[in-house]
Amino acid sequence: MRLSSVQEDYIKIIWNFEQSQQISRPKSVADILEVKPPTVLSMFKQLERLSLISYNKKEGALLTSIGKTRAEKLVRKHRLLESFLDKVLEIEDPVLHDEAEKLEHVISDELTLYIDRYLGFPKIDPHGEIIPQMAANDKLIKLSDLESNIEFQISLIPMNGDYGEYCLKNDIIPGSFWIISNFGPGRESYLISNGNKFLSISKEFADKVEVTVLIEKTKSEERGA
């Protein structure tokens, strides 16, 4: 479900109200957006039809689980963009915030992941606000279920015995990025790479590692174009 930038602005405002334990009433949201309360009420009804919020006069607008996930993804993009513009381009407020406000609506999930990785997975933005962590997009899957040339992020690793020691020794840690480069005969082994090194792991081990799929490499990327 693709949302407009206006719809995204509304759910982010409601999310911010919830974080500070305030009620999202039409008047309070209207004051922020500099519009009339009836305009806000109309949007509340629209967002409710999309199952992003619930609304009544007593409690105001409340995000549903779907709405909360969408809002946190937007906040995550905004705060990562502020971090990038601050640390890499050395842009300061108010330009920093204003540009992040514009870009958060158009930046892809994939580019967000690359920015996060480039910055070293920061926990807070330039203003000291916590950066929401990436949601495990829909569900985690076993590394052994992937095909080749699929980039993935490690989410869960086995920490018992030799497995845990092997993971930590070889940088197979939550948050790290890898690609399956090839399979052994009968898919009994997997050749994986993080861009710096290659590792051959067994299917038994791959069954114990859970990952989040990112993006599939294109044909041109495989040819090095």
**Share above pLDDT 90 across residues of the chain, in percent, rounded to a whole number:** 63
Q: Are 67 and 52 in contact, with CB atoms under 8 Å apart? A: yes
Residue ranges of the chain that CATH labels 1.10.60.10: 68-118
Q: Which pLDDT does position 214 carry in this prediction?
A: 61
Nearest Cα residue to 53 out of 114, 7, 120: 7
pTM value?
0.64
Q: Which segments of 35-131 does DSSP mark as H helices, in order? A: 37-49, 65-87, 95-103, 109-118
Q: Is the pLDDT of residue 137 over 60?
A: no
The mean pLDDT value for 96-123 works out to 88
Task: Output the CA angle 211-198-212, nearest 5 degrees.
Answer: 10
**What CATH number labels 141-222?**
2.30.30.90
Q: Are 136 and 212 in contact, with CB atoms under 8 Å apart? A: yes
Architecture of 5-63 per CATH? Orthogonal Bundle (1.10)
Q: Is the pLDDT of residue 160 over 80?
A: no
The third-level CATH classification (topology) of the domain covering 68-118 is Diphtheria Toxin Repressor; domain 2 (1.10.60)
Residue 200 confidence class, pLDDT cut points 50, 70, 90? very high
Q: Whole-angstrom Cα distance, residue 26 to residue 10?
A: 11
Residue ranges of the chain that CATH labels 1.10.10.10: 5-63
